[in-house]
Structure 1
C-alpha cells in the first residue's frame, strides 16, 4: 500500500532531546501509520544518525544520508525519496500536534487547487526571552495568524501585481503536494543562486520557503493558512541571544531581496556596491544600535538590506 503522506525531517547535528520530542509527537499521530511514511534526512551530520536514532517504532520509516550540506540539498533529497503524493516537512525542533497529519490529508483532499499549506507555529522557549525580544521582528518561525482560514491563488490580474501573501506557509510544518514540489525542483535544478538558498551549517541564509511559495503561485497553485494545523516550535536559548538574532536578521533580509528579485519583484532599487558601507554607517546613527539589543538587531537588518540591494542585477 502506497502511503498518502511522507513526513520528512531534515537535520544536521540535531539536538537529541529536541529530536526525541519531534519523533515522540509523530509516534502519537492519530493518522494510522500505514497511511504515512517517515524519512529522516541526515544532512552530513558529524555522526551517522542511522546508528543512533531508533525509527523501528514506525512501520514505514527510513534513514537517508545526504552528504551535500544545506537545507535545500536535504529537502531535494526528501523530494526524491518520498513515495507519497503529500509531503510534510517537520524541522528537528517542530513538535506536531497529534492531529496534524490527519488534518493535512483532509485539507488536501478537500482543496485540489492547493499546492502548499501551513498553520500555527507556537513557540516553546528554553529560557524566557529578554524584555527587548518583544521589540524584535526576527524570523524565528513563530506564527499565529488567528483562527480564520486564508487562501491565495494568483489570477491573471494578481500575477501582474505579484504581492507575497503575508500568510504564506513557512518552513515549520510545511505541507506540499509532491506534484507541486516536483515543479519547484525543475525550476531550481542548475540554478546556483536558488540552490544556495537555505541554511547551510552555520550560515543563516534563508529564503528557500519563499522561493517555493512564489514558484507555486506563479504556476497557478494555491497556498493557504489553516489554523487547525498546529505545532510547537522548540526554541533554544542560543537562538534568543542578541548575536544570533542579529546574524539571522541580516542574512534573512538580504535573502528576502534576492528571492523577490528571482521572481521579478523589486521593492527596492539597486544601489552601487561602493555605497553599501556609507549607507550602513548612516544607518548606524539612525538606528543607534548602542542603545539596546533590539536597536542593534534592527540595524543589522538594515545592513543586510543594503547588501541585498547591491547584489541586484
Structure 2
C-alpha cells in the first residue's frame, strides 16, 4: 500500500542530454532516504522525443512520467506542483547530481525548521572543460553557490533577502508552491520569467522562493545540503554568456517590478559615473556591460507599458 510520501522529487526537462540524465537518475537511485518515502515525477516539457520512451524509471516504485505540452519551465513546474502528493517538493534540474544524503537532509530541514518555506544548498560546479580565466566574474550566473555558513531570511525584498535559493535543488513546502501557482494564475506575466525553448529568461525560481516570505515564512541556504551542477562547454562561450547576462538583467528587472520594487533610471551623476566606468573597461567587459544595460532597458520599456 502506497503511503503519502515525505517528499516529491520533480525533474522538469526539455530535450535533455542523455548522458547527464543517466548521472542525475543514478544519484537519485542511491539516495539514503528509502524509495518508499519519496516519489519521483519526471515532467517532460514538450521534448522532441517523448522521454517516457527514452528514460526508464522502473527502478523506483513510485515514479511517474508526466508530459506537459505547453513549453516553458514555469509551465513544467506548475504541472509538477499540481501532480505532487507530498507536502515538500524538491525541484531537481536535469543536470543536477544530488549528494547521496540530499533527500534525507531535505526531510530533516523540513522537520527542524518549520519557519523555512523554501531552501537550497551548496551547488558545486563540474565543468565539461576548464573555464577560461575571464569567465570567473560571470560564473555565479551559472547556478554555482558555495558558502561557509547557514543563512536564512524572511525579507520579501529581492534586494534585501540574502538567503534566496535558486532553482537547482530548490526545496519548497507545498503551501508555498500552491500560493505561487495562484500568483501566476492572477498575473500571467510571472510565467514569462523562466526558460522557454532557446530563451534564457530566468528568475521564476527566485519568485517561487520569495513566495515563502509572502506567507510569513522564510528562505534558507544550508551548508550540509549539496549537489553537483554539470556544466557543458557551450555555457562558457562568450556568445552564450552575453545572451545570459542580457536575459538575466531583463528578468531580474521584471521580477523587481512584479514584486513592487519597480526600478528607476539612474540620475545624471550616476549616468556620468557609469560612462566613466565603462570607458575604463577592456573591450570584453564593455560588451558584457552593454548586454546588461540592454537587458535592463528592454525590461524598463516593457514595464512602462503595464
TM-score, scaled relative to structure 1: 0.89
DSSP-derived class of the 2:66 partner: strand
DSSP-derived class of the 1:124 partner: strand
Q: Structure 1 pair 50/23, CA: closer, same or farther in 2 (3 Å)?
A: same
| Runs of 4+ residues over 6 Å off in structure 1 | 282-285
Task: Measure how far apart 1:214 and its partner are.
Answer: 2.5
Task: Measure how far apart 1:285 and its partner are.
Answer: 9.4
Q: Structure 1 pair 162/56, CA: closer, same or farther in 2 (3 Å)?
A: closer
Task: Measure how far apart 1:297 and its partner are.
Answer: 2.3
Partner of 1:252: 248
DSSP-derived class of the 2:197 partner: coil
Partner of 2:287: 296
- In structure 2, what is the Cα distance between the partners aligned to 1:43 and 1:288? 44
> Any gaps of 5 or more consecutive residues in structure 1?
272-278
Q: Structure 1 pair 195/100, CA: closer, same or farther in 2 (3 Å)?
A: same
Task: Measure how far apart 1:306 and its partner are.
Answer: 2.0
2:133 to 131, 134, 140: 131
Partner of 1:107: 109
Residues 64-213 of structure 1 mapped to structure 2, 5 A cutoff: 64-136=66-138, 138-146=140-148, 148-154=149-155, 163-213=159-209
C-alpha distance after superposition, 1:78-99 (max 9, x if no partner): 0011111100000000000000
Partner of 2:224: 228
Task: Measure how far apart 1:283 and its partner are.
Answer: 6.2
> Any gaps of 5 or more consecutive residues in structure 2?
none
2:298 to 284, 292, 307: 307
C-alpha distance after superposition, 1:90-114 (max 9, x if no partner): 0000000000000000011011111
- In structure 2, what is the Cα distance between the partners aligned to 1:162 and 1:289? 28
Partner of 1:216: 212
Q: 2:256 touches 2:262 (CA, 8 Å); kept in 1?
A: yes
Partner of 2:260: 264
Task: Measure how far apart 1:268 and its partner are.
Answer: 3.0
C-alpha distance after superposition, 1:139-192 (max 9, x if no partner): 11010122x1111124xxxx6x77442321100000001111111111111422
Q: 1:5 touches 1:85 (CA, 8 Å); kept in 2?
A: yes
Task: Measure how far apart 1:299 and its partner are.
Answer: 2.4
Q: 1:87 touches 1:176 (CA, 8 Å); kept in 2?
A: yes
